[in-house]
Amino acid sequence: MMKIFSAAISIFLFITAVNGQTAADLAKKYHHREVYEVQPGVQMTPQFDSSGVVCEMQVEQAHFGANGAEFSDGIDERKIYPIIDQLVPVPERGLKLNTIEECGGICQTTREYENVTIKILSVGHTRLVTIKWRNRSCE
């Protein structure tokens, strides 16, 4: 009896392992996010408002590449401003309102415009850029 039970469990585990997880299985368990590669090694993750329009973007160094985990210092500061210009061109930002720089080991630069707020978080190289539209609500 024990052998039959052990065999049944083994077959069940084998079938489960062979079938794997599908996109539908993962979608049932986890919230789905889209990630875009805006430059090699740099990814952007958008959030959308209820009408499907982008309300926030996070830009960061890709953590995984073709050869597995990527361990780097972040995005080179010289690359970050052209990426920001590409994602939210100057005319779309509106009038520049304010710039705030705060440093204490980690530096954060906040640039406020009429239409967007851009935050750049850095420790040496840029770690994270957040672009948030002021007139759109992320849900």
Q: Is residue 31 part of a domain?
A: yes
Largest distance between two CA atoms of the chain: 78
Q: What three-state secondary structure class fits 95?
A: coil
Task: List the Cα angle 62/128/134 in 5-degree steps.
Answer: 125
Q: What is the pTM of this model?
A: 0.74
Q: Does a structural domain hold residue 9? A: no
Question: Does residue 36 lie in a domain region?
Answer: yes
Whether 16 is in a domain gets the answer: no
Segment 43-69 mean pLDDT? 84
When divided into structural domains, the chain yields a total of 1
**Residue 16: partners with Cβ closer than 8 Å, 6 or more residues away:** none
Give 87 or 126, the one with higher predicted confidence.
87
63 or 13: which leads in pLDDT: 63
pLDDT at 12 over 60: no
In single-letter form, the type of residue at position 28 comes to K
Residue 88 located in a structural domain: yes
pLDDT in tens, 30-41: 887 888 989 888
Residue 124, domain extent: 26-133
57 lies in some domain: yes
Tell me, yes or no, whether 14 lies in a domain: no
Sign of torsion over alpha carbons 30, 28, 18, 16: positive
Tens digits of per-residue pLDDT, 59-89? 998 866 566 666 666 787 788 899 999 999 9
* Domain assignment present for 15: no
